[in-house]
A and B are shown apart, each in its own frame.
Chain A
Amino acid sequence: MLYFARWKVAAILGVILLGVLLSLPNVVPRSAIPSWLPARQISLGLDLRGGSYLLLEVDLNAVVRERLESLADGARTRLRQANIGYLNLQAQPAANSLTLRVRDPAQTQAALAALRELANPVPVGGGATAPDVELASQPDGTITATLSEAALRARAGGAVEQSIEIVRRRIDETGVAEALIARQGQSRILVQLPGVEDPNRIKELLGRTARMTFRLLDENANLQAAVPPPGVEFLEGEQPGTRYPVRRRIEVDGANLSDARAGQDSRNGEWVVNFTFDSVGTRRFADITRQNVGRPFAIVLDNKVITAPVIREPITGGRGQISGNFNAAGANDLAVLLRAGALPAPLTVVEERTVGPELGADAIRAGLLSLAVGAAFVIGYMGFAYGLFGWFANLALVVNILLLVAALSLLGATLTLPGIAGIVLTLGTAVDANILINERIREEVKAGRPPISALEAGFTKASGTIMDSNLTNLIAMACLYVLGSGPVRGFAVTVAIGTIASMWSATVLVRLMVSAWYRSRRPKTLPV
């Protein structure tokens, strides 16, 4: 137990050296570190450096609703083309389905065939795909089209992934450095914005779907009518009190934009957004404008008509301008949103935590003070209560903290305020192993064993207990990690790593120190 082969001693010293090297990037500037070393360092959590944490939820119901609406639109067109009369075409978002009744039940099969073509394939695992719509019919001609379970899952997953991408682009546009955007759970997106003290603007940017569409107006519709004619909807304009009869059919989608910039109109100095279509958009826009010269069209953003100009001449260059009573900030924001693309579904902020840098600095100061006082207390207690072996344990404790810092750096972990508390508590739990060993050695000495065998027995017999007792700490921290939310997770990780590091430093390292001391002194009695 007390004999260490030369390579073992070297390995132990190597681990300590590695710990020092890996911890270095936290205290010395990056330029002073040789390039072969991983120059990772512990990053400070938002609660310490200040910043904003947002938890966004993707409205998956909206995704389903939208798919059902497009199914309904498709069904209308297909059934009309096939000359099939129908009644009561209704989307039922609660049941994820669409129902209609065919007027002549004899045409049910024809209707089913027409509707079947509306289904999109979705992956169902194993490389296979299945239609996303399941059709069912009844003898009276009632047809139910239900979105399949796999389709709902695929659509939800896709919507969240796409939202993350859009959120990332929008935040990148605002110039926030080191923003962290990640998926959390089924339908949530976590956004961390270091250094952002007032997340108001970012929340506004993220809160807009920014779906822009170019559509034609129905000039014959009666705006006073209670129900718009089929295929038309009444949408409000930017100015209060204005309403437009907009055709549901989307001629060109905002997804076909390749660029959008805020600018000032050279004639009247008004703020406008200049946009450029991609090749598909350019072609479609040219076609539409060529066929509809003299008619008005609408630019619709999130179900509001921004502007509805009359087409004076075909626009074939793929460039256009949106003018709609913008100020500089409004035009800029719209340009950002159009560049970044539309969200597949609305986002809501369900949790928000913002900490100013002042409070973070206070927290760091308080944390460091507690760490210093805690270390002084524990080191003093161990030294005075256990003598020489206590001081060995203290040395190991310092190495333990060093290894903890090294491991956190290597993982690129984030240090939060609870994380600092974890480090301080590690001070207290780490020496437990040494207390166990010391008590054991003392008992063996009292039982009349000579020093060398008392030392051997102490280390050997205590090791099982140390294993057992530390495992319970790790179990508790695993539970905490699973519960996990940001800062608290940081605590769990810190304590867990500290516990593992202490199992090594308190046993192996202290044993090495005791062995070196014993071989140089050959003491007749042990200082326990």
Chain B
Amino acid sequence: MFLSRPLFRIVPDNTQIAFMRGRVLGIAFSALLSVLSLGLAFYPGLEKGIDFRGGIIMEIRTQGPADLGALRGAMGGLDLGDVGLQQFGDDSTVLLRLPVQGQEGEEGATQAAVNAVRGALEQAAPGARILRTEAVGNRVSAELFANSLIALGMSMLAMLVYIWFRFEWQFAVGAIVTLVLETTKVVGFLAITRIEFSLTTVAAVLTIIGFSINDKVVVYDRMRENLRKYKTMPLRQLIDKSINETLNRTVGTSMTLLLSALPLALFGGDALSGFAWTMVFGIIASTSSSIFIAAPILLFLGENRLRRGTEAPAPAAPPGAAPRR
């Protein structure tokens, strides 16, 4: 049966790429990208979704292609503040945004605005239907935003503690530094693509964090094993060996995850596409950082500490320096 044997292999056996040689370049490049991303987060800044910004959005489907100009004209006269209109998905669907209406706690302002839009719509585009209405108040959006930042911070802290607990502290620091570099790049990605920063995007970032650490754990696990197995191998060579040994797995897992995220991005509809593209970018970023960043950082932190005397065999492993299990 031809299917019983593997048909292909992404990374050939005995691959020996000297990743460590490019470590300075890799980390510098990554850091540069992250700094640029942070810059992008301030200018032009993130496109905050309604979850975090508050206000009203309405998804409207018109009969036939929507005439944005006419709609804009009709909404402009309503005195509802800054009205945003954009095509959403196909050309008969329009997304309308309004700022928060009225003072906080003032009842009925939102409903009045929705009704006003409904009336204007009836005039400008007869037969149009409102598919979705979302209204989030200022206080709730501020809370959601704060909670999201807390969840992101909490997850990073939890990962730090977990890896610290399971490995040496150098591993934990390496993983967290990588994680920060990655997350900032995702922020840059959001800023460039103008994907809305919303609760679902945060969900994507958290999923990426989980996946990314998962990836790092596998590489670290192998390094720990090799540290025990090859007591005299220089750390630099040992890290390269570990990365190469786990390379096919790292790429393979990223591949399957990518293969499941890509259909979501392509066919998942407008509601999921932001989430899914963020995932796709995050998967690629975290896979490359597992290879080029996470392990090389260890070399800076652990050259002399992870194992005393890498070149010359140590007389006896000092307590605490031997890998814990």
Contact = CB atoms under 8 A, between A and B. Distances in A.
Contacts of A388: 3-5
Interface in A450-497: 464-465, 468-480, 482-483, 485, 487-488, 491-492, 495
A386 to B, nearest CB: 6
Interface stretch (A78-86, A152-160, A361-369): A361-369
Contact of B6 (A207, A367, A387): A387
Residue among B111, B137, B154, B252 with the most chain A CB within 10 A?
A: B252
A384 interface: yes
Interface stretch (B24-32, B38-46, B102-110): B102-110
Interface residues of A, number: 80
A385 interface: yes
Interface string B35-60: 00000000000000001000000010
Contacts of B259: 374, 377-378, 381, 428
B133 A476 contact: no
B71 interface: no
6 A-B pairs closest in CB distance = A476-B210, A428-B260, A366-B269, A483-B151, A428-B257, A373-B263
Given A362-B269, A488-B200, A488-B203, A473 B211 contact: yes
A349 B4 contact: no
Interface in A91-111: none
B130 A429 contact: no
B276 A421 contact: yes
A488 B148 CA distance: 11
A363 B7 contact: no
A387 B140 contact: no
B8 A384 contact: yes
A370 B199 contact: no
Given A370-B268, A374-B263, A479 B258 contact: no
Contact of B256 (A59, A366, A435, A472): A435
B271 A386 contact: no
Q: Looking at chain A's contact residues, is the secondary structure mostly helix, strand, loop, or mixed?
A: helix
A482 B154 contact: yes
Nearest to B245: A443
Contact of B132 (A349, A359, A478): A359
Contacts of B4: 387-388, 391, 527
A477 B213 CA distance: 13
Interface in A110-160: none
21 contacts: A55-B140, A200-B111, A349-B110, A366-B267, A366-B268, A370-B263, A374-B260, A374-B261, A385-B10, A388-B5, A421-B272, A424-B260, A428-B258, A443-B245, A469-B215, A472-B214, A477-B206, A479-B155, A479-B158, A485-B51, A528-B6
Nearest to B51: A485
Interface string B115-131: 10000000000000111
Contacts of B6: 384-387, 390, 527-528
A352 interface: yes
A356 B130 contact: yes
Interface in B63-116: 105, 107-108, 110-111, 115
